[in-house]
Each structure stands twice: as structure tokens, then as C-alpha cells.
Amino acid sequence: MSYKGRSRDPRQMTSRFAGTCYTCKKPIKKGEEIIYWPNGNHAEHFACGEADYRNSVASFEDEDRYNG
């Protein structure tokens, strides 16, 4: 599977620097699990964005992988 042309897709990653969560407005600490959204250029705690992230991923992944 190629990631070409998917630079706008959200990605789960480890924060490399401190920041502020887009959703809850609380601090994001370096090393925390976050979700980064290139299309909005913002980041949020993984827990805060998990539902949206999964919906977004499911929209272009094989649904069967998420139905089990």
C-alpha cells in the first residue's frame, strides 16, 4: 500500500515536543501518544481524537479489519 497522495491523512504518533491539545486545550507532553491532522495542521491527545481517527482510517482501509 502506498502513502502517496495521502499526506493529509491523520496519523498516530508520539509527540516530539510539548504542545496544546486541539480538542481539550490541555497540554500535550513530549512523548505522549497523539493524533496529528495534517489537513487542519493540529494535534490532539490520542484519547481525544481516537473516534475521529478511527472513522477516518476506516474510510480508506478495508472495513473488515475493523469489524472483528
Q: Contact with Zn ion (CB under 5 A): which of 34, 35, 43, 48?
A: 48
Determine which residue in the list 10, 36, 45, 53 makes contact with Zn ion, applying CB under 5 A. 45
Q: Residues in the chain, how many? A: 68
Which residues are within 8 A (CB) of 17 and not within 5 positions of it... i.e. 6 or more apart? 30
Per CB under 5 A, the segment of 8-16, 19-27, 31-39, 59-67 that binds Zn ion is 19-27
**Nearest-approach distance from CB 33 to Zn ion, in angstroms:** 11
- Does the footprint of Zn ion cover residue 24 (CB under 5 A)? yes
1 burial type by CB count under 10 A (0-12 exposed, 13-18 middle, 19+ buried):
exposed
- Summarize as ranges the residues that interact with Zn ion (CB under 5 A): 21, 23-24, 45, 48
